[in-house]
Every structure is written in C-alpha cells, then in structure tokens.
Structure 1
Amino acid sequence: MPFIGRDWRADGEQWTKTEIGSWERPRRLSLSSSLLNVNSSLSDVFNALEIANSVSNIRRFNYIAKVVQILFKDKLGELSGNAQRSLFQVIGRMIDMVLKTGDNISLMQRIVTQFHNSIHSAYPFYYYIGSAPLWQRHIEMLTRMQETIKQVQTNMIKTDEDSSKLTFNCLPVEMQREVLRRLDNGTDIVNVGMINSNIYRVSQELLIWRQLCLYHFGGDTQNSNNSKLGEKILGLMRRQQDDIDTNDIDWKNAYFKLKRQYGLREVYAEMIHQCQLCKCLYWQDSNHTCPYETLSPSSIPITPRKLVTMLI
C-alpha cells in the first residue's frame, strides 16, 4: 500500500505549553466563506485564536477591543453561556494588561462603562441568555472593574503631579506637531489641543487636518492632487462650491463631515487573516502552514465586524 502521509523527514508539529503546564498542538480553525457549514462556537474561536492571551500583545490589543465592543453592543442577546464566559475572560485579561502597563486606560474605561450600561439597560427583563442572578453578578463584576480603572487613573494623576517630570507642553513645537500628525482620530487631536493655548494653536494647523482627511478618505492614486484627494473629499468639495480650490478648504470641518457620512478607516497594527485556500483563520504575524502547499498562498484581512458576523 502506498504511503500517502507526510514525509517522515518533514518538519515536526509545533507544540505550546498551556497555563496548567500541559502541552498541546496548535488548533486549526477553518471557517467557510459561505457560512453554511460553520459549527465552531464563539468560545471555540476565541480559544483557537488565543484571544485572551493575545491581549498582552500591544499590536493586537485594539483589534480585540473592537471585537469586544461589537459583541456587547450588537450581539450580547445572542451569546451563549460559554460565549459570555469567554467574553468576560477577555475583558478581565484586558484589565490586567492595563493595570500592568498603564496603557489604554481611557479605552478600557469606555469599554467597561458601555458594557455595564448595555446590561443595566435591560433590567428588569434581562432578555439576554441566562438568569437574572447571573447577569446581576455580571453587573457587579463590571462595577468592580470600573472602580479598579478609576483607582488606576487616580494613582496616575497623583504621579503626574510631580512637576519635575518632562511634560508634553515642554516639547518644542516641531515635536508637538509630529506627535499630533501621528494621531489617527480627530477627536484625540481636539482633546490634546485642550491642554493649553499653545498646543491648541498647533492642533488647529490645516496641514494636520488635511493629512488626516487624506489618510481616512483620500484616494490611492498619487498622479495628481485631485486624484490624491479621492472621490469622497472631491464630492464634499463639489457640494460646497463649484470651483475646487484645495487652498481654500476648512480641513477640520471637512474631516468631521466626512466622518459622519462615511465613518473612519479601520486600521490595526495586526489583524486576523483568512487563508483563501484552506479557509483557516490566523493572526497576521503568526506562521500559517497551509495544507495546499503546492499553490500560491493568499489571504484577506478580516475586520472585527466581519469576524463577529462570521461567528454569530
């Protein structure tokens, strides 16, 4: 009988050590794009992609945070008991990461507050899956999380009161401008500009807002100035004036108008991808071994909302 398995000289399988000390091989998660034969639950997907452990990776944190926000805002009533437990496990790990690093405190405060409000708004009916006492415990857990984050913020404020430390206001104007140029959200730029009058003047520079508009709404081609602006920006300019003059545009006002109409571009340091050959989901920076080795590999990025739609 011919041997049809892998050659014994091939590379061995990768095994990882679990939290309890045992060893296991990486799980392969395959989801059909047609969504007809999907039997994997949300908890299975979270375990296979190691979502809870991935929050310690700063490149994956914002992606996971967006998935969590979509789940409790739009899909909370459809989550099973295992899915609820997995969701709370991820949020708990995110809180631990915030306490450890001091980063993303405002984001976590917003997530926990929104989650708390989503559950509390259903009282006393609790149309979610599970009993009323269960969801009451969820509310108590989220309340403790809110108190923990507030305590961290209080401690950081006390630490920042040390006037001997270098502050953002002490930086040269050129460096302040470079920092603002690297922010991808106009609301963040507005909030930074509220520190004092000097930083406010920097945050009002049209060049910063023009680059922000091009980043979220501009075209991909760079052949001419108008083609670089993209159809979204050009459409807004045509509605406001007949003659398009790029030197006479209120880019800050244009940004917020375009944001309301189109939303912002989703950009993450690392995303989950789906192999177009074997339909497996995997993190972008992980080593994906496709069984169809003879074909050229190809994959597509999966946005947080698309991932949630595939699972629920």
Structure 2
Amino acid sequence: MPFLGQDWRSPGQSWVKTEEGWKKTTADEKNNNNNYNNNNVSVESFCKEEEEKEEKEEECFNKENLPLSLNYDMAARKRKKDQMNNNAKLPYFHREKWIYVHKGSTKERHGYCTLGEAFNRLDFCSAIKETRRFNYVVRLLELIAKSQLPSLSGVAQKNYMNILERVVQKVLDDQQNVRPIKELLQTLYDSLCGLVQDMGKSVLVGNLATWLRRMESILQWQQQLDCIQIRRPTSTGMTLTELPASLHLNIMQRLTDGRDLVSLGQVCPSLGVLAEDRLLWKRLCHYHFTDRQIRKRLMVSDKGHLEWKKMYCKLSRCYPHREEYSETLHFCTHCHILFWKDTNHPCTANNPEGCTMALSPQDFINLFNF
C-alpha cells in the first residue's frame, strides 16, 4: 500500500473534539493544552487521594462483614446457576421459521446453519404438537438415533433430548402413538449402548457421565410408557364392536401397517376373521413394495393361492416400507431455504411453487452432511 503522508518520520497530527466537530490542533494549542494540564495536576492528585481514602474505607468494611458478603455472593451465584439450568430446556424463539442451507464446494457459506440450530429455527417443539407433523418428526429422530449420534454437537444433543422429552410427555398425556415412541426409545438406547463402549475413541461428543444420565432418562421413559393405561371413554355411544362388518372392513382398508391390522384383529373374533382377508394383505403388499420385489418373494399355498400375509411379513424384513407423511419440510432450490409448507419464505424466483420440493426425513439429514 502506498504511503500518503508527507514525511514518515513526522509525529502525526493531533485532533481535538469540539462542539462544532473534530479540529486539528497546532503547536501553540498543544503547548496551551500542556500548560492547562500542568495547572490541573493538583486537582487530579486531590481527586485521586479522595478515591484512595474511599477504597480503604470500603476494604475495612468488607473485612468486618466478610462472612456476610461471602454468603451473599454464593447465594447470588447459586440463584443465577439455577436460573440458567431451568432455562436450558426452553428453546430459543426466532422470528423467521426457516433456515438457509447451502451445499456446495465453496469455502464460504452465507448463513451457515448446523443441525442443532435447525431444531430450534424450524421449531420442532411446536411441530410435535400438530398431528400432521408428528410422525415426520418422530421418523427424523429415529434416523438420527440410528446413524447421526456421533456427528451431533453439544447444542444439537441438548435440543435432541429436549424434543424427545416433549414427545414422550405428549404420548403420556394423549395416550396415542405409544408403539412408535417405544421403538424410537429402544433404537436410541441400543445405539447408545454400542457407542458408549467406544467412548475412549472419541465417538460421541461429550463426557461419559452425561450420556449415562441420558440413558437413565431413556429407561425411565420406557418404564412410564410400559405402565400407561388407556382410559376408556365416558360416553355411552356405540362401540367399535357394535359397528357393522362393512364399516369394520372399511376401517381396516385404511390401515397402512400390518401390525395395526393384527392388533385390531385381536379385539374380538369377528374382527379376527376380517383381519385374515387376503385382499387386505394384498393391498398392503402393493402399497409398500414394488412388483419386482413382490415377484422375488412369492409364496404359494398348497391350494395354489398366494400367501399375501406371509409375503408381507417376509417383504417387511427384506425391504423398507413406503413412507408418506401428511406434512413435510420443503426445500427451495432457488433460495436454498428450508421451511415448513405453511411458513412463507422470501423467495425471489418468478415461480416459487416450481422451485420447492418436499423432503423426506432422510433428505433432511443429508442436507447437513457437509
């Protein structure tokens, strides 16, 4: 860079702030200021002496009341620590319910966001309260428990456990979706049992005591879910078993999980007969699996009929089920913004709807695999 001054050995220019603004000071003004400072030395020394006297008096008072001051300081610190611990589980609220996520080879990222920040910015704590988003969030937590635990930062771990605690509490209050949450907790516990053994290799972020406390919390949640008792409705209306067989069959056709169909068939003998209907299991097989997968696992009975129920059980062990959610997260390919469908984001494209794409839980995790 070129030097713009007249002489590099010059002491520089002095500026003084006045009511009209900053002004340069000349040599005469510098001397006047120095003389004024010399005249005021006595005033400054007098002020310093007074301050020293006050400090000595405060020290004497503190020495006399030292036990009281120590107790006061310890109580204040304890209150501050308790307040921080109580507020640790409260999520941060943001005005914008969307995040900027950009996957590219550039070294700089505008609005860089991690997975832990995404939990707060996308407001997952409120998403689990909505029925349309509940299954999506649960599936996302399950995928993270299976493969993403070692990559979670400390903030992401805390947010993950806070959301999981809210999910368990919601299930205990509503008495719905008990089985998926049990499976989620069991998956998380099994993953932690395998990872905690390798703590010496720095597999998980954080100390061992913290993860052991979290595992104890998971066991407590499992016990609470095992002890849950479904409350019977107080209304004296018509029950499920009193409905006609046509409505029973219509209800079974809307189930997408074979385990729900088996559980419903155990309610009464009439429902058990309907649960063995071959057309119901055939519908489930074609809903979750492709024709090519079905042809590979054909099972024929002695009478020459296809065993659709056995085929469904075998296909479920070999291939993943089809995933459909009432509401999912969306990603704008033009703005690189991740948002819920009912949350408007500042899109600059001419056709915003053509740039958005629905994300599955696995696609959401892949966005943060930088």
- Same fold flag (TM > 0.5): yes
Partner of 1:297: 354
Partner of 2:180: 107
**What letter corresponds to residue 278 of structure 1 in structure 2?**
C
Give the Cα separation in 2 of the matches to 1:297 and 1:53: 28
Partner of 2:133: 60
Counterpart contact for 1:70–1:305, Cα < 8 Å: yes
Matches within 5 A, 1:1-312: 24-34=94-104, 39-126=112-199, 127-151=203-227, 153-154=228-229, 156=230, 159-160=231-232, 167-217=239-289, 230-233=291-294, 235-236=295-296, 248-293=305-350, 297-312=354-369
Counterpart contact for 1:35–1:310, Cα < 8 Å: no
Secondary structure of the 2:339 match is strand
Unaligned runs of 5+ in 2: 1-88
In the superposition, the TM-score normalised over structure 2's length comes to 0.64
**What letter corresponds to residue 302 of structure 1 in structure 2?**
L
Secondary structure of the 2:99 match is coil
Moved more, 265-274 or 190-199: 190-199
**Residues 236-283 of structure 1, C-alpha deviations (whole Å, 9 max, x = no match):** 48x779xxxxx9433223333433443211111111111121121111
- CA deviation after TM superposition for structure 1 residue 34, in Å: 4.3
Distance 1:109 1:231, change over 3 A: closer
Give the Cα separation in 2 of the matches to 1:288 and 1:257: 44
Secondary structure of the 2:331 match is strand
Give the Cα separation in 2 of the matches to 1:86 and 1:136: 17
Give the Cα separation in 2 of the matches to 1:125 and 1:32: 33
Secondary structure of the 2:336 match is coil
Give the Cα separation in 2 of the matches to 1:274 and 1:240: 42
Name the larger-Rg structure.
2
Give the Cα separation in 1 of the matches to 2:147 and 2:100: 24
% identical aligned pairs: 24
**Residues 161-187 of structure 1, C-alpha deviations (whole Å, 9 max, x = no match):** 999775433332222211111111122
- CA deviation after TM superposition for structure 1 residue 144, in Å: 2.6
Secondary structure of the 1:117 match is helix
- CA deviation after TM superposition for structure 1 residue 117, in Å: 3.0
Matched positions, count: 271
In the superposition, the TM-score normalised over structure 1's length comes to 0.75
Give the Cα separation in 1 of the matches to 2:252 and 2:296: 25
- CA deviation after TM superposition for structure 1 residue 35, in Å: 7.2
Secondary structure of the 2:358 match is strand
Unaligned runs of 5+ in 1: 1-18, 219-229, 242-246
Secondary structure of the 1:75 match is helix
Higher relative contact order (CA 8 A, sep 6+): 1
- CA deviation after TM superposition for structure 1 residue 309, in Å: 2.2
